[in-house]
Amino acid sequence: MVEQDTETLDAIFHALSDPTRRAMLAGLARGPRNVGGLAAPFDMSLAAASKHIKVLEKAGLVKRSVQGRTHVCSLDAMPMHAGVEWMRHYEKFWSRQLDTLEAILEAEDRAAENNRKEAKP
């Protein structure tokens, strides 16, 4: 398994665990937005939106720049790669388990078919 920094993974999965933050990331995937633009689709204050953005920043998923008095956020999806790699390890594990189960079930089916053939007069 690829070793991952636990704090980084924790921050990424924590950031992605909230539907509002996932929606914010989806919006940022279409292009940079200011804090007001990120907050607009939700019934929340700018302060609440800023708290969500800080969680995304801590995970490294959002970069914020200040242009005058406006805070502009942009997506940095690269840190998600750590989470994908972590999940890929378990995907391989479950694929092996399911392949083994499939082989067992197919062997049982063949044995049952052979028993039926042998039982016929």
The pair of structure tokens assigned to 35 is 């804090």
Class of domain 1-121: mainly alpha
Give the Å distances, CA to CA, from 31 to 45, 76, 79, 106.
Answer: 21, 11, 18, 50
Q: Where are the domains of the chain?
A: 1-121
Q: What is the pLDDT of residue 4?
A: 56
Task: Report phi then psi at 7, rounded to 5.
Answer: -65, -40
**Cβ partners under 8 Å of residue 75, min gap 6:** 25, 28, 29, 32, 61, 62, 63
* Strand-strand pairing, 33-34 and 70-75: antiparallel
- pLDDT tens, position by position, for the chain (121 residues)? 445 578 889 999 999 999 999 999 999 999 999 999 999 999 899 999 999 999 999 999 999 999 899 999 999 999 998 888 888 888 888 888 898 899 899 999 888 888 888 877 6
Q: What is the pLDDT of residue 121?
A: 66
Q: What is the pLDDT of residue 2?
A: 47
